[in-house]
């Protein structure tokens, strides 16, 4: 385990001195430069980052399975999470990787 980095904690007097500094300025961000407001439709496509601790062997098995399926580690875990959550709500989804394999197994249509 790595040693946690410690940064100096300012004293209340140091914070007061910083805030009273005449060179410190606050400016309003123009509306044209403000970050966009996230709509509900956009929010459905946002990906969030999560940190996860797991045993090394479990990580290796997941990576090997993802590689065997031709997907990333993240895609595999997203699929597994979606499948488990769907099972909890009595839905019957399949993973994207399984759908692609099923579609690939269908022979092409022959035209006469």
Q: Does 9 fall in a domain?
A: no
Q: Return the HEC string of the chain.
A: CCCCCCCCCCCHHHHHHHHHCCCCCCCCCCCCCCCCCCCHHHHCCCCCCCCCCCCHHHHHHHHHHHHHHCCCHHHHHHHHHHHHHHHHCCCCCCCHHHHHHHHHCCCCCCCC
Q: Does 100 fall in a domain?
A: yes
pLDDT computed for residue 72 by the predictor? 94
Q: Does 6 fall in a domain?
A: no
Q: Does 43 fall in a domain?
A: no
**Chain centroid offset of residue 28 CA:** 31
Number of domains in the chain: 1
Q: Does 30 fall in a domain?
A: no
Q: Does 84 fall in a domain?
A: yes
Q: Does 17 fall in a domain?
A: no
pLDDT computed for residue 95 by the predictor? 79
How close are the terminal C-alpha atoms of the chain, in Å?
67
User: What tens-digit pLDDT sequence spans the chain (112 residues)?
Assistant: 456 677 888 999 999 998 888 888 878 878 788 777 888 888 778 888 999 999 999 999 999 999 999 999 999 999 999 888 887 887 667 778 888 888 888 888 777 6
**What separation in angstroms does the CA of 14 have from each of 8, 9, 11, 23?**
11, 10, 5, 15
Q: Does 8 fall in a domain?
A: no
Domain containing 88: what range?
54-107
pLDDT computed for residue 2 by the predictor? 55
pLDDT computed for residue 3 by the predictor? 62
pLDDT computed for residue 112 by the predictor? 64
pLDDT computed for residue 85 by the predictor? 85
pLDDT computed for residue 80 by the predictor? 92
């Amino acid at each position: 385990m790595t040693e946690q980095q410690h940064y100096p904690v300012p004293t209340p007097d140091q914070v007061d001195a910083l805030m009273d500094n005449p060179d410190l300025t606050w400016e309003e961000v123009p509306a044209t430069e403000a970050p966009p407001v996230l709509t509900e439709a956009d929010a459905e496509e946002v990906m969030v980052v999560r940190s996860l601790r797991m045993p090394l062997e479990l990580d290796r098995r997941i990576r090997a399975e993802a590689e065997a399926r031709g997907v990333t580690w993240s895609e595999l875990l997203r699929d597994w999470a979606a499948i488990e959550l769907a099972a909890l709500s009595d839905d019957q989804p399949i993973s994207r990787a399984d759908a692609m394999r099923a579609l690939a197994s269908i022979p092409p249509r022959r035209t006469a």
